């Protein structure tokens, strides 16, 4: 799954602590610090940073994986950034996180984060004392969490597939075949950082999928308008107008007009493709897109030629190994077995490591069978000793002595 970074706003509050609470808080904070800190060194605040309710991007955090991952990440220490700028040094860090079941909150499973700032610190040209005053004075209330992760994926609420998979025909914000609005569950997400400046981010991969559906003619006019309003973007990238004005001043659906002309035989499909291709449009089916994604940098004529050449060399190598395995077994066991069936079995297996093991095994058998030099058995030695004894007991007789 593509690692899509989304920023979600949270509300923060300062948290007054008594002496007993400070002892536990400082213990957790000092796990992050090299030099021990005191309560006079730090300012702490907290906030509900995520829950499993629907957000503005039509996503919901999976409470079993993502929300519990957030708690673990907060407890381990998540950087506090400015404006999600990860190229700047963090000026604060989380020291704790807790999971709040729906029974403890407003009918949703939630995660509360706890953060600390060092007082009297200037970092990235800004004073933390000023930030602390802004939080305490209610100027800074909204924050934003950035999340992602290598294992994150977006489960479609309608079909359960990865919502970025072409096998999933749904898009967040559009009603599915059962009339339910589709959204996505964020599964196995991890917290990356938290920022004190909210900067909304539209999930770009949704836009890519929507644009591809539009290019393939798989989305109605109403759904196009709905998604453009939801995501606040032009889904056609401004390259063409979907709706054209008529002389009467009314708008007409150009795409529907083209479809009608194609059905009535008034327009050749090839001419439409030629015109739009000349304008830079590319028409690909989902299978073609998946193949190109799989090939990556090899998705070119030269790249495919290289892959074909390497595949041919691989086939030749496997064929040579199969012939060698058959020959080695014949050498070890003779030709009393069915070599053709053995060869067919090796072809079906088609495993290089298995072929190498077969060759090595029969080579060892052949070595044991054809050990160089004559081996003397115990019985042979006994026979030779008996013959020598008999010759000593019975001296030679000359037949001419009689």
Cβ-based neighbour number of residue 331 at 10 Å: 16
pTM over 0.85: no
Share above pLDDT 90 across residues of the chain, in percent, rounded to a whole number: 17
pLDDT, one tens digit per residue, over 37-71 is: 998 999 998 887 788 888 767 888 999 999 999 99
Which of 143-157, 240-254, 291-305, 310-324 is least confident?
240-254
pLDDT score, position 135: 80
* pLDDT of 402 strictly over 90: no
* pLDDT of 203 strictly over 70: no
Q: How far apart are CA 318 and CA 84, in angstroms?
A: 52
pLDDT score, position 374: 45
Q: How far apart are CA 242 and CA 260, in angstroms?
A: 15
Higher-confidence residue: 191 or 201?
191
- Residues in CB range of 89: below 8 A, 6 or more apart: 123, 124
Assess contact for 12 and 141: CB atoms under 8 A.
yes
Higher-confidence residue: 81 or 120?
120
* The dihedral sign for the CA sequence 24, 27, 31, 33: positive
pLDDT score, position 198: 46
- Residues present in the chain in total: 402
216's tokens: 């393939």
Assess contact for 216 and 71: CB atoms under 8 A.
no
* The dihedral sign for the CA sequence 298, 301, 302, 304: positive
Q: How far apart are CA 362 and CA 354, in angstroms?
A: 12
pLDDT score, position 194: 77
pLDDT score, position 72: 95
pLDDT, one tens digit per residue, over 204-214 is: 445 555 666 66
Residue 106: band (very low, low, confident or very high) from pLDDT cuts 50, 70, 90: low
* The dihedral sign for the CA sequence 266, 288, 217, 279: negative
pLDDT, one tens digit per residue, over 334-352 is: 877 788 888 888 888 778 8
């Amino acid at each position: 799954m593509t690692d899509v970074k989304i920023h979600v706003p949270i509300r923060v509050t300062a948290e007054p602590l008594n002496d007993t609470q400070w002892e536990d808080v400082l213990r957790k904070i000092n796990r992050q610090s090299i030099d021990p800190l005191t309560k006079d060194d730090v300012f702490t605040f907290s906030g509900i940073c995520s829950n499993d309710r629907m957000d503005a991007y039509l996503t919901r955090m999976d409470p079993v994986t993502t929300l519990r991952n957030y708690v673990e990440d907060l407890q381990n220490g998540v950087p506090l950034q400015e404006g999600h700028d990860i190229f700047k040094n963090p000026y604060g860090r989380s020291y704790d996180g807790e999971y709040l079941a729906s029974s403890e909150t407003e009918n949703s499973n939630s995660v509360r984060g706890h953060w600390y700032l060092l007082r009297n610190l200037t970092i990235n040209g800004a004073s933390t004392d000023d930030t602390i005053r802004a939080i305490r004075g209610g100027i800074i209330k909204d924050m934003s969490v950035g999340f992602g992760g290598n294992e994150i994926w977006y489960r479609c609420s309608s079909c359960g597939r990865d919502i970025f998979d072409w096998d999933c025909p749904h898009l967040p914000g559009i009603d599915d075949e059962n009339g339910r609005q589709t959204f996505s569950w964020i599964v196995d997400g991890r917290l990356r950082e938290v920022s004190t400046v909210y900067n909304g981010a539209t999930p770009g991969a949704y836009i890519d999928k929507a644009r591809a559906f539009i290019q393939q003619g798989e989305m109605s006019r109403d759904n196009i308008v709905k998604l453009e309003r939801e995501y606040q973007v032009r889904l056609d990238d401004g390259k063409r107008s979907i709706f054209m004005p008529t002389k009467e001043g009314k708008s007409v659906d150009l795409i529907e007009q083209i479809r009608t002309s194609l059905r009535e035989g008034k327009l050749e499909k090839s001419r439409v493709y030629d015109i739009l291709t000349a304008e830079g449009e590319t028409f690909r089916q989902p299978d073609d897109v998946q193949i190109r994604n799989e090939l990556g940098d090899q998705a070119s004529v030269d790249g495919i030629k290289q892959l074909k050449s390497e595949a041919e060399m691989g086939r030749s190598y496997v064929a040579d190994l199969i012939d060698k395995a058959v020959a080695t077994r014949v050498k070890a066991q003779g030709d009393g077995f069915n070599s053709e069936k053995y060869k067919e079995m090796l072809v079906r297996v088609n495993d290089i490591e298995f072929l190498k093991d077969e060759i090595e095994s029969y080579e060892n058998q052949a070595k044991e069978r054809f050990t160089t030099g004559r081996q003397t058995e115990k019985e042979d030695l006994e026979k030779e000793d008996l013959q020598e004894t008999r010759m000593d007991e019975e001296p030679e007789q000359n037949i001419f002595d009689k």
